[in-house]
Chains A and B, each alone.
Chain A
Amino acid sequence: GENVEQHPSTLSVQEGDSAVIKCTYSDSASNYFPWYKQELGKRPQLIIDIRSNVGEKKDQRIAVTLNKTAKHFSLHITETQPEDSAVYFCAASSGGSNYKLTFGKGTLLTVNP
């Protein structure tokens, strides 16, 4: 089955700096890669996703890149703000008749004012 590795497990940055979180996946059939943000005690919330037919997607300060050949994808947050502090999870899904998401272990991002 699919295996998703996520690094780093913790990341601390100064407000205004950029943050990058990287994930690798094992199943070459995976074609959908969402990123979720989870604040303490709250539900995971989708912040951005990418499908295997594109290499990059951007939404304001957040961008995701995908390298299908290397089977890795990354989340980039620019101009970080204290409210970006949370745990971020990457995930992968192979689609078809199998819609389950396989998640990474998460990255605790702390943005220091």
Chain B
Amino acid sequence: DTGVSQNPRHKITKRGQNVTFRCDPISEHNRLYWYRQTLGQGPEFLTYFQNEAQLEKSRLLSDRFSAERPKGSFSTLEIQRTEQGDSAMYLCASSRGTKNIQYFGAGTRLSVL
């Protein structure tokens, strides 16, 4: 499968724990995006990388959230001291070139108990 890959698919954690998600973009895609989707809503932008540089972060991304893309390939999204309000589907997308066609992964569903 050469699409966007996300792991794990599901994560259940207790409030206050830290969690980390991984996204592997489509090969040679230089842009990588993180979105959050809650039930009945469209995806909301969190942050995006061009190669290894994090170029924009949403105000939704509190200081408990951090994302990295160390070598311009895969990316990780870490949430520290999780809260019940963090429960959502975390989607990753990638694109390349100027056309901005974004391809999405299947997401990581986070449940904070």
Contacts and interface: CB of A to CB of B under 8 A. Distances in A.
B40 A99 contact: no
Given A99-B31, A99-B95, A100-B48, A106 B42 contact: yes
A44 B94 CA distance: 12
B56 A98 contact: yes
Taking residues whose C-beta sits less than 8 angstroms from the other chain, chain B's interface range is 20 to 34
B102 A101 contact: yes
A105 B31 contact: no
Contacts of A101: 33, 35, 43, 45, 102
Interface string B56-95: 1000000000000000000000000000000000010001
A100 B43 contact: no
Interface of A: 4, 6, 32, 34, 36, 42-46, 49, 89, 91, 93, 95, 97-106
Interface of B: 4, 31, 33, 35, 40-45, 48, 55-56, 91, 95, 98, 100-107
21 contacts: A6-B42, A42-B106, A43-B104, A43-B105, A44-B91, A44-B104, A89-B42, A93-B100, A95-B98, A95-B100, A97-B55, A98-B56, A99-B33, A99-B48, A99-B95, A100-B45, A100-B48, A100-B56, A101-B43, A103-B44, A105-B41
Closest 4 CB pairs of A and B: A103-B42, A100-B45, A43-B104, A43-B106
